Amino acid sequence: VDAGLMAQAQARLDNKTKPIGSLGRLEEFARRYVAISGSLDPSTAKKAIFTFAADHGVVEEGVSAFPKEVTVQMVFNFLKGGAGINVLANHVGADVLVVDMGIDHDFGDTPGLIGRKVARGTRNMAKGPAMTREEAVTALEAGIELARGCKTDGVAMAGTGEMGIGNTTAASAIIAAFSGKTVADVTHRGTGINDSALAKKITIIEQALAVNRPDPKDPIDVLAKVGGLEIAGIAGLVLGCAANRIPVVVDGFISTAGALIACELCPTVKEYIFAAHESVEIGHRFMLERIGAEPILDLHLRLGEGTGAALAMGLIDAGVKILKEMATFAEAGVAEGEY
Amino acid sequence: VDAGLMAQAQARLDNKTKPIGSLGRLEEFARRYVAISGSLDPSTAKKAIFTFAADHGVVEEGVSAFPKEVTVQMVFNFLKGGAGINVLANHVGADVLVVDMGIDHDFGDTPGLIGRKVARGTRNMAKGPAMTREEAVTALEAGIELARGCKTDGVAMAGTGEMGIGNTTAASAIIAAFSGKTVADVTHRGTGINDSALAKKITIIEQALAVNRPDPKDPIDVLAKVGGLEIAGIAGLVLGCAANRIPVVVDGFISTAGALIACELCPTVKEYIFAAHESVEIGHRFMLERIGAEPILDLHLRLGEGTGAALAMGLIDAGVKILKEMATFAEAGVAEGEY
- The predicted-structure confidence for A158-185, as pLDDT tens digits, reads as follows 999 999 999 999 999 999 999 999 999 9
Nearest-CA distance A144 → chain B (Å) = 29
- The predicted-structure confidence for A186-221, as pLDDT tens digits, reads as follows 998 887 889 998 999 999 999 999 999 999 999 999
Beta-strand relationship, B248-250 and B273-275: parallel
According to the model, what pLDDT value does residue A177 have?
97
**If we measure between CA atoms, which residue out of A290, A299, A296, A229 comes closest to residue A263?**
A290
Interface membership of B97 toward A (CB under 8 Å): no
**How many residues in chain A?**
339
| Backbone φ, ψ for residue A248 (5° rounding) | -125, 125
Answer whether B23 sits within 8 Å of A303, measured CB to CB: yes
For residue A333, give the nearest of B73, B296, B332 by CB distance: B73
- The predicted-structure confidence for B4-16, as pLDDT tens digits, reads as follows 999 999 999 999 9
Nearest-CA distance A259 → chain B (Å) = 22
- The predicted-structure confidence for A115-160, as pLDDT tens digits, reads as follows 999 999 999 999 999 999 999 999 999 999 999 999 999 999 999 9
- Chain A positions touching B321 (Cβ under 8 A) are 87-88, 91
pTM for the whole structure = 0.97
According to the model, what pLDDT value does residue B66 have?
87
Nearest-CA distance B256 → chain A (Å) = 17
Could you give the CA distance from residue B204 to residue A231 in angstroms, rounded to a whole number? 58
Nearest-CA distance A314 → chain B (Å) = 8
Does the structure show a pLDDT above 90 at B327? yes
Interface membership of A195 toward B (CB under 8 Å): no
Chain mean pLDDT for chain A? 96
User: Which of B64, B77, B320 to probe by mutation at the A interface, max A CB count within 10 Å?
Assistant: B77
Active site residues of B: 305
According to the model, what pLDDT value does residue A57 have?
97
**Which A residues 134-193 touch B at CB under 8 Å?**
191-193
Sheet order of strands, A94-102 included = A113-115, A94-102, A47-54, A157-163, A248-250, A273-275
- The predicted-structure confidence for B289-307, as pLDDT tens digits, reads as follows 999 999 999 999 999 999 9
Does the structure show a pLDDT above 70 at B139? yes
Does the structure show a pLDDT above 80 at A335? yes
Interface membership of B282 toward A (CB under 8 Å): no
Q: Tell me the three state secondary structure of residue B248.
A: strand
CA B90 to chain centre: 18
Secondary structure letter of residue B136 according to DSSP: H
Does the structure show a pLDDT above 70 at A339? no
For residue A193, give the nearest of B314, B336, B339 by CB distance: B339
Active site residues of A: 305
Answer whether B192 sits within 8 Å of A333, measured CB to CB: no
Interface membership of A23 toward B (CB under 8 Å): yes
Does the structure show a pLDDT above 80 at A337? no
Q: Classify residue B154 by burial, with Cβ atoms within 10 Å: 0-12, 13-18, 19+.
A: exposed
Judged by average pLDDT, the poorest of A212-226, A325-339, B103-117, B131-145 is A325-339
Answer whether B321 sits within 8 Å of A297, measured CB to CB: no
Does the structure show a pLDDT above 90 at B281? no
For residue A314, give the nearest of B80, B303, B314 by CB distance: B314
pLDDT confidence band for B191 (50 / 70 / 90): confident
- Chain A positions touching B298 (Cβ under 8 A) are 298
For residue A337, give the nearest of B19, B192, B297 by CB distance: B192
For residue A91, give the nearest of B321, B336, B339 by CB distance: B321
- pLDDT over 90, % of chain B: 92
Mean pLDDT of B253-280: 96
Nearest-CA distance B146 → chain A (Å) = 27
Which ipTM was obtained for this model? 0.96
- The predicted-structure confidence for B205-262, as pLDDT tens digits, reads as follows 999 999 999 999 999 999 999 999 999 999 999 999 999 999 999 999 999 999 999 9
**Dihedral over Cα of B244, B245, B250, B256: its sign:** positive
Answer whether B303 sits within 8 Å of A338, measured CB to CB: no
Q: Which residues contact A267 (CB under 8 A, 6 or more apart)?
A: none
